[in-house]
């Protein structure tokens, strides 16, 4: 989607559900999450990376998710009050992302002895073992990390 289309969609949702309350919309550079509701600044943000990869309905669902957080209040988290508000404004309730939004931009790649691949955005500070091979830390499942080649702009 184009940024201006997302901005129009976000502003329309804010006008419909949070009129006159001072909430604004912006893009952020998040790579692990799709959107965020910043109560202290009354701002809803969506990842630029999501917008580049997602369909309009997916972006709309992320925006509705965040608007529901704004309406329900910070303390509601993802509890019953938030779920009720979210359903009331049309949020489908499904998890949209199980992996980081911009996983292809990860700069660290790791492999365990069994061949499972792992990606990180920052270099792991401590030894890490593969969670697919062992539920607890195990030297037998230690991940070997390497830095990826930089992405072309």
Give me the domains of the chain, ranges plus CATH numbers: 3-88 (3.30.2010.10), 106-147 (no CATH)
Radius of gyration of the chain (CA): 19
pTM: 0.69
- Return the pLDDT at 150: 58
Q: Which residue's structure tokens are 């955005």? A: 121
Q: Which of 11-25, 79-93, 104-118, 125-139 has the lowest mean pLDDT?
A: 104-118
CA angle 150, 111, 119 (to 5 degrees): 45
Q: Is the pLDDT of residue 82 over 60?
A: yes
List strands edge to edge, sheet with 35-38. Answer: 24-28, 43-47, 35-38
Percent of the chain with pLDDT over 70: 90
Mean pLDDT for the chain overall: 89
Percent of the chain with pLDDT over 90: 65
């Amino acid at each position: 989607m184009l940024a201006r289309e997302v901005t129009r969609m976000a502003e329309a949702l804010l006008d419909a559900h949070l009129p006159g309350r001072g909430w604004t919309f912006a893009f952020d550079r998040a790579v692990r999450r799709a959107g965020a509701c910043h109560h202290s600044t009354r701002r809803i943000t969506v990842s630029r990376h999501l917008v580049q990869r997602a369909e309009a309905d997916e972006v709309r669902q992320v925006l509705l998710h965040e608007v529901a957080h704004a309406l329900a209040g910070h303390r509601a988290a993802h509890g019953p009050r938030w779920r009720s508000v979210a359903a009331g404004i049309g949020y489908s309730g499904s998890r949209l992302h199980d992996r980081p939004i911009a996983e292809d931009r990860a700069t660290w790649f790791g492999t365990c002895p069994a061949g499972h691949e792992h990606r990180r955005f920052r270099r792991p500070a401590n030894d890490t073992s593969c969670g697919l091979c062992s539920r607890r830390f195990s030297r037998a499942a230690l991940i070997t990390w390497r830095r990826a080649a930089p992405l072309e702009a």
